[in-house]
Amino acid sequence: MKDLSLEMASLRDIDEIMVFMSRHWREGHVYSWSRPLLMKDFKCFADPERLNIGLARATDREILGVFCFMLYNQRDVPDLAGSMWKITEASQKAYPMLGIQLRDFVIKQVRHRFFATPGPGIQTQAIYKVLRLQWHQMKQFFLINPDLTHYQLIRRPESPVLPAPDTARRVELRRVESPEQLEAFDFDAYDHIVPFKDEGYVGHRFFDYPFYEYDVYLVFRPNSDKAENLVVCRRATAKTDDGKSIASAYRIVDFYGEEALLPEIISCLYQIMKQQGDEFLDFVCHGFDESLLMQAGMTCVDFESDDMVIPNLFEPLVRKNTPVYCIADRTNLRFRQCKADGDQDRPNGL
């Protein structure tokens, strides 16, 4: 590889990276045309002139590969999220190990405690096994809105939709309007759950997002000023191939804290989902207590069957059950993943 170089990207590389995304990942990919989102996701906090992207370059400086990553927190040794990882087809043939060498370069450059991310394609499973990473299929739990008579997103058996148990009165959800209000939640108390996401991560990730509006809630027990949990949701509107809106779902995309109050929290979100007229509430996740989710009345999608279809891809709508996978370092700590970890909860269409 004397004719190649591996390096960390800087701001001056951003135009080249966007062109690379369009040519070698997918034409129209959001990172190929949205500089604000690319900057939000990959600008380095510690060094504003640097991007959290590793590059493989040829001697003529052409980009042959990228490995993008995010930091879940701003500690000296943070937890790390993988993102886009791509080597050009020609380079892959000429240098079969280039992708792994680029990843290894970044992993060694960036001190971290733990690495995890959702979203790898099933075709990459063998690579991650070689890298000795855990591979999991995430689960998708859902509740259907019983107040509707016609559904445009889901497909279900012809049977009545039963209401979920009502336990919402046992907790109070308070909407967070600004990052400053996040101080009410003790993030540091949960650094035994990996990846550990801190107040700075939540403030940066879910406020002032270029495309989506997120609902961030603090969860309180009655007559208490101590926030027990923090939960993030998004009202997602499914679209046709030409961008026309079809219908919506309410999606739990991130969750912080212990899980004992999950049934009560889900009951509150279920009521919000019905008030908004969404077709369903769902939670794509790994590592959560399934018994608590079932207690809330949620059902787990069966990815081996199409009798009940709860879509996961909305832009454009793909009306089928679509699993999401996640990978992680092996660890003795408690490992959880949510839909918005890494770069997964972002626009896919033009």
- What is the per-residue DSSP string for 197-224? --HHHHHHHHSS-SS---EEEEEE-TT-
CB 67 within 8 A of CB 54: yes
Residue 316 half-sphere exposure toward CB, CA atoms < 13 A: 5
Of the options 3.40.630.10, 3.40.630.30, 3.40.50.2300, 3.40.190.10, the CATH number for the domain spanning 4-112: 3.40.630.30
CATH topology of domain 138-338: Aminopeptidase (3.40.630)
Instruction: Give yes or no on whether 4-112 and 138-338 have one common fold.
Output: yes
Nearest to 147 by CA among 238, 268, 277, 249: 277
Query: Would you list the domain boundaries of the chain?
Result: 4-112, 138-338
Residue 176 has which token pair? 């967070």
pLDDT digit string (tens) for the chain, length 350 residues: 668 999 999 999 999 999 999 999 999 999 999 999 999 999 998 898 999 999 999 999 999 999 999 999 999 999 999 999 999 999 999 999 999 999 999 999 999 999 999 999 999 999 999 999 999 999 999 999 999 999 999 999 888 787 888 887 789 999 999 999 999 999 999 999 999 999 999 999 999 999 999 999 999 999 898 999 999 999 999 998 888 999 999 999 999 999 999 999 999 999 999 999 999 999 999 999 999 999 999 999 999 999 999 999 999 999 999 999 999 999 999 999 999 998 899 987 65
pTM of the model: 0.96
